[in-house]
């Protein structure tokens, strides 16, 4: 369950969805809580159920954005199309 639903004062900063060959690979969501920023992830392995590593907590939105930017660049390098949602 998304931490965003558990904390109504939280604000979603952005959501990125990575796909390859039309199949979901990963979803990354950054949520700002004011005193910290959390990146939630959901990864879709080729077989099996999705896994949710993390969440990853950062001091501010700048650090969380840098983390997601690196992840997105890596996914693109691996041939994924990444969409903002």
pLDDT of residue 77: 97
Q: Given a cut of 90, is residue 17 above it in pLDDT?
A: yes
- How sure is the predictor about 7, in pLDDT bands with cuts at 50, 70 and 90? low
User: In this structure, what are the phi and psi dihedrals at residue 38, rounded to the nearest 5 degrees?
Assistant: -120, 135
Altogether, the residues listed in the chain come to a count of 85
What is the per-residue pLDDT for 1?
41
d(CA 37, CA 34): 7
> Do residues 59 and 37 make contact, with C-beta atoms less than 8 angstroms apart?
yes
pLDDT score for 26: 96
Sequence spans of domains, the chain:
3-84
- Tokens, residue 39: 């990146």
Give mean pLDDT, residues 6-22.
87
pTM of the entire predicted model: 0.83
Measured distance CA(53)–CA(36) in Å, rounded = 18
């Amino acid at each position: 369950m998304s931490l965003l639903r558990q904390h109504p004062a939280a604000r979603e900063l952005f959501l990125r969805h990575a796909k390859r060959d039309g199949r979901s690979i990963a979803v990354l969501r950054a949520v700002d809580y004011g005193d910290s920023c959390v990146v939630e992830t959901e990864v879709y392995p080729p077989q099996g159920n999705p896994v949710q590593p993390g969440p990853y907590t950062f001091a501010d939105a700048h650090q969380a954005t840098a983390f997601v930017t690196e992840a997105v660049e890596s996914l693109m390098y691996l041939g994924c199309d990444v969409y903002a949602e």
